[in-house]
Structures are given as structure tokens and as C-alpha cells.
Amino acid sequence: MTEPPSNMHKSRLEFCVTMQRRLLDILACPIDKHYPLQLIELESKQETIVDGVLLCDQCRRFYPIIDEIPVMLPDELRNKKEDLEFLSRWKEKLPRQVVEESLPYGLS
């Protein structure tokens, strides 16, 4: 079996691990499958979201985008400490409902 060209492998890898705006067309909430998710950009580089939030309007869960990676895990697999640190870091730029009322954790 032959290996794919190195440039093809790299582009696939980048697509899988970086949060591109075009991914919004295929992402749904892992809890209730609601689509589309609302994007709140905090920091971006061209088409790549570096830091931000994906918000499910139906179940009110937030999914942080940290260093270009969307963290879309079910509640039982999420790291509460990391989620709260993320909300604390960005609380001045995020809507109040995300900081205080989103699931699974808020700063209220």
C-alpha cells in the first residue's frame, strides 16, 4: 500500500484539527443534534477560528473553541475546570447568557 503524498496528508490533518468557518455547515450539537450551531468568534485568523464558542440555541450548551480546536464533548466527558477557566478568560467578550446560564457549567 502506498502512502498519500505528504501535502495531501497535511491538508487533511489541518481540516480535521482546526476550526474553519466552513465546518459550521456540518457541525451539530452532540447532545440534541440541533443544527446549525451559533458561532461566537473571539479571536480568528482569516478563515480559522482560534478562540470562540459554538452555542446550541436549543439545549443552551456551549462548546469552546480553544487554540483552533472545537471541544464538542458530552457533559460527562467535559473538564469542568477547563470550561470554567475558558469562561473566566473570555467573560468580558462573551454574552452574559453564555457566561452565566449556559450548560453544563456557568460562572453564576
List the chain pLDDT tens, one digit each, 108 residues: 444 444 434 333 343 446 777 778 889 999 999 999 999 999 999 889 999 999 999 999 999 999 999 999 999 999 999 999 999 999 999 999 999 999 998 987
Q: Give pLDDT, residue 88.
A: 96
Diameter of the chain measured on Cα atoms:
55
- What is the identity of the amino acid at 62? F
Residue 62 domain flag: yes
Q: Check residue 61 and report its DSSP letter.
A: B
Residue 57 domain flag: yes
Residue 24, SS3? helix
* Domains contained in the chain, number: 1
Which position has the grid cell 447568557? 97
Residue 43 domain flag: yes
Residue 92 domain flag: yes
Range of the domain at 52: 6-101
Q: Give pLDDT, residue 60.
A: 95
